[in-house]
């Protein structure tokens, strides 16, 4: 068998471009795609909460549903993540205290509706938002991530010229 020798020149610029594309796609494009996929879940959760909201009171669970970047997860291991939840937490008012009935007041009763009690059946809207729409969420993420990859490749090609 014959010995073949070859050398590649210009590999450093290629590796630099690949590293730039990888960073751009993971950090920028991945975060953007993940946000759009998470917005699908948040919107479905809002729709489910609207069916449970009591129009007689000023408090609305659906207006308290929020989408937040999970910075702690990102700092710990570099993974991208978003959290979807209900603002103001799930702490019920102490006995004797009047609940805040303002338009954007806390809605701690959401967890009683979501998980139920021993005397009331659960009416989940948060868990159902993800479980019933996992295909749509996945398709949204894939489509948006592909767009981000295409944009990163175009940017890298322009930078190379």
Q: Is the pLDDT score of 6 beyond 50?
A: no
Cα–chain-centroid distance for residue 86?
14
DSSP 85: E
Q: Is the pLDDT score of 41 beyond 70?
A: yes
Q: Is pTM beyond 0.85 here?
A: no
Query: Using CA atoms, how far apart are residues 59 and 103, in angstroms rounded to an integer?
Result: 5
pLDDT of residue 16: 64
pLDDT of residue 69: 93
Query: Using CA atoms, how far apart are residues 80 and 74, in angstroms rounded to an integer?
Result: 6
Please choose, from the candidates 4, 16, 114, 140, the residue with its C-alpha nearest in 3D space to the C-alpha of residue 61.
114
* Mean predicted confidence (pLDDT) in 86-107: 74
Q: In this prediction, what percent of the chain has a pLDDT beyond 90?
A: 25
């Amino acid at each position: 068998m014959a010995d073949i020798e070859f050398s590649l020149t210009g590999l450093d610029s290629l590796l630099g471009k690949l590293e730039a594309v990888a960073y751009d796609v993971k950090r920028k494009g991945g975060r953007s795609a993940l946000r759009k996929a998470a917005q699908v879940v948040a919107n479905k959760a809002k729709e489910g909460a609207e069916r449970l909201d009591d129009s007689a009171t000023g408090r609305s669970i659906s207006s308290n549903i929020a989408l937040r970047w999970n910075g702690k997860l990102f700092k710990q291991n570099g993974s991208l993540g978003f959290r979807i939840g209900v603002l103001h937490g799930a702490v019920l008012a102490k006995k004797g205290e009047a609940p805040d009935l303002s338009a954007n007041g806390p809605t701690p009763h959401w967890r009683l509706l979501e998980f139920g009690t021993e005397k009331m059946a659960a009416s989940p809207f948060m868990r159902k938002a993800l479980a019933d729409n996992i295909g749509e969420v996945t398709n949204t993420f894939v489509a948006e991530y592909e767009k981000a990859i295409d944009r990163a490749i175009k940017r890298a090609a322009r930078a190379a010229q």
